[in-house]
């Protein structure tokens, strides 16, 4: 039997949300709507809360120092652009970054990382939690989330209708990849190849994820590129189109699929995919009555978790202050019982 679940999140983050990830005091920046960038030169612990950034032309959070803890929560990034990482740029620093309950819409980079470029030098936190990135990118540059090293997690996040040359949703390299879970990666478009890239020969685990209707132009790759070990549990893989395959596996890659739904599991070079147990294959995508989950809505009277259209409800028109910002977040999961 098919069950469709929506997971709503509270409008307001708990008062101690910083302490869910870090310990100690922090410099808190609230309701920043004027400054295009955030200065971190004299601060080691910085928390941005309910800030709005529109049409910024440089990396908003640009960290160039070590031993810092940075977090943004309930922030909105609209039509921001830079050469690399318009929202966050961390270039090989010993630090931690948590991106929590944000919405990124229509952001792009001329070089790479249409939302964030987070390259750490240590095993600090490198988290993306309870967030949405919709309608970002361009066809010339790769990668939405560029995450290198750190204790890494992508959780309860919607990545929909983004475009890029390759690795359109995320590029991840981590020796400590906690999980990618409760996440929908849907209707992303690669002008070349690859939607998800999991590299560096590590162990990766995807749980309770939807990978749906993604497109790649090139025939020389796959929706999921894996160089390492990948386990998919309770996932749905449907309607992924284009010239490439579903998986592109390195010679030493190993993929296991458990308790999941799929329409096909093609792989480049015919690399074997291990279908372990309790999986269901179907060719009729419409049977599942999928409920689209675009999860960033700033207007409570328009929020309808049962709406089944294709509109991205992610706009800042009319929003001028923190009181206008209502973060509504849900992730749709299709699971089997």
Check whether 78 has a pLDDT greater than 70: yes
CB atoms within 10 A of CB 284: 8
Distance from C-alpha of 46 to C-alpha of 308, rounded to nearest angstrom:
38
Q: Are strands 2-6 and 332-336 parallel, antiparallel or unpaired?
A: antiparallel
In whole angstroms, give the CA distance from residue 228 to residue 84. 27
Q: CA-CA distance, 13 to 101, in Å (whole number)?
A: 8
What is the reported pLDDT for 12?
52
Structure confidence at residue 286 (pLDDT): 52
Tens digits of residue pLDDT in 32-42 = 766 667 766 66
Q: What is the reported pLDDT for 273?
A: 82
pLDDT in tens, 252-306: 788 999 888 888 888 876 677 887 767 777 665 554 443 333 333 322 333 333 3
Could you write out the three-class secondary structure of 52-76? Answer: EEECCCCCCEEECCCCEEEEEECCE
Q: What is the pLDDT of residue 299?
A: 29
- pLDDT-derived band at 121 (thresholds 50, 70, 90) equals confident
Residue 110 has a pLDDT of 96
Q: Take residue 6 and report the two structure tokens written for it.
A: 């929506």
What average pLDDT does the segment 116-137 reach? 93
Mean pLDDT of 168-196: 92
């Amino acid at each position: 039997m098919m069950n469709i679940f929506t997971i709503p999140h509270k409008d307001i983050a708990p008062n101690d949300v910083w302490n869910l990830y870090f310990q100690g005091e922090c410099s808190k920046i609230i309701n920043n709507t004027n400054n295009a960038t955030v200065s971190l030169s004299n601060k080691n612990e910085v928390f941005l809360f309910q800030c709005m950034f529109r049409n910024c032309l440089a990396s908003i959070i640009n960290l160039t120092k070590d031993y810092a803890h940075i977090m943004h929560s309930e922030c909105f990034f609209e039509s921001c652009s830079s050469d690399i990482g318009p929202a966050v740029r961390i270039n090989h620093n010993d630090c931690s970054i948590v991106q929590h309950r944000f919405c990124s819409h229509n952001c792009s980079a001329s070089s790479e990382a249409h939302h964030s470029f987070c390259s750490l030098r240590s095993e600090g936190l490198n988290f993306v939690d309870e967030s949405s990135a919709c309608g970002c990118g361009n066809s010339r540059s790769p990668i939405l989330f560029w995450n290198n090293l750190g204790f890494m997690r992508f959780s309860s996040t919607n990545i929909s209708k983004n475009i890029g040359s390759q690795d359109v949703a995320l590029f991840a390299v981590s020796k400590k990849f906690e999980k990618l879970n409760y996440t929908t990666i849907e209707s992303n478009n690669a002008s070349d190849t690859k939607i998800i890239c999991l590299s560096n020969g590590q162990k990766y685990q995807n749980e309770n994820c939807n990978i749906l209707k993604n497109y790649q132009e090139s025939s020389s790759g796959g929706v999921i590129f894996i160089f390492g070990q990948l386990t998919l549990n309770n996932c749905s893989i449907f309607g992924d189109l284009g010239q490439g395959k579903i998986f592109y596996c390195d010679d030493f890659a190993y993929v296991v699929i458990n308790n999941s739904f799929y329409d096909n599991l093609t792989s480049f070079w015919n690399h074997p995919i291990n279908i372990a147990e309790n999986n269901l294959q179907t060719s009729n995508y419409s049977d599942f009555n999928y409920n689209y989950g675009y999860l960033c809505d700033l207007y409570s009277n328009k929020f309808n978790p049962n709406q089944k259209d294709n509109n991205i409800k992610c706009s800042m028109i009319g929003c001028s202050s923190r009181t206008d910002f209502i973060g509504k977040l849900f992730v749709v999961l299709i699971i089997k019982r």
